């Protein structure tokens, strides 16, 4: 398993739509790697929305929004990436069977990837808490890798 936590966004980089870019693969043109996906935070609506744009030749995606006081287990399949984007309030992401845990706040992004499947616990605080969980699956390669 590999983890990245990015507090807030990519230095307030804005997409052409005006949304904040929370994470992208790669996260800058200087990396030289071909673009695969981008997660943006649209704050123009009453409830913020995290959306993914992905290159369908390389990545399939699915997205689920979790809100207020939700607690459950997220499953990441072998080779997949999970992106958890904080939208409102606070959420705790922790290893189902390990010692690590991280708090997310609005605009924080948590990315988990790896070759082996794993389980993570997601616990939202009571009230207006919300996160968007985006699962990215490879269509060609066995494993997706995040290029920071």
Cβ atoms of 124 and 130 within 8 Å: the answer is: yes
> CATH no. for residue 111?
2.60.120.10
Show the domain range for 107. 2-138
Q: Which residues contact 48 (CB under 8 A, 6 or more apart)?
A: 41, 42, 87, 88, 106, 130
Q: Is residue 145 part of a domain?
A: no
Q: Is residue 6 part of a domain?
A: yes
Q: Is residue 51 part of a domain?
A: yes
Overall domain count for the chain: 1
Q: Is residue 146 part of a domain?
A: no
At residue 6, does pLDDT exceed 70? no
**Full-model pTM:** 0.87
Could you give the maximum distance between any two Cα atoms of the chain, in Å? 43
Q: Is residue 144 part of a domain?
A: no
Best CA proximity match to 40, nearest among 68, 63, 58? 63
Q: Is residue 19 part of a domain?
A: yes
The 10s digit of each residue's pLDDT in 118-138 is: 999 999 998 899 999 999 999
Best CA proximity match to 122, nearest among 137, 101, 105? 101
The 10s digit of each residue's pLDDT in 63-105 is: 999 998 999 999 999 999 999 999 999 999 998 887 888 999 9
Q: Is residue 42 part of a domain?
A: yes
């Amino acid at each position: 398993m590999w983890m990245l936590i990015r507090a807030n966004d990519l230095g307030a980089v804005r997409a052409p739509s005006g949304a904040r870019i929370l994470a992208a693969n790669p996260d800058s043109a200087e990396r030289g790697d071909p673009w695969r996906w981008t997660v943006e935070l649209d704050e123009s609506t009453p409830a913020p929305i995290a959306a993914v744009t992905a290159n369908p030749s390389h990545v399939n995606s699915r997205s689920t929004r979790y809100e207020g006081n939700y607690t459950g287990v997220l499953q990441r399949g072998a080779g997949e990436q999970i992106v958890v984007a904080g939208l409102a309030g606070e959420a705790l992401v922790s290893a189902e069977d390990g010692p690590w845990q991280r708090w997310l706040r609005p605009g924080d992004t948590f990315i988990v990837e790896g070759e082996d499947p794993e389980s993570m616990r997601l616990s939202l605080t009571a009230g207006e808490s919300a996160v968007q969980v985006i699962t990215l699956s490879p269509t060609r390669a066995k494993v997706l890798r995040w290029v920071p």
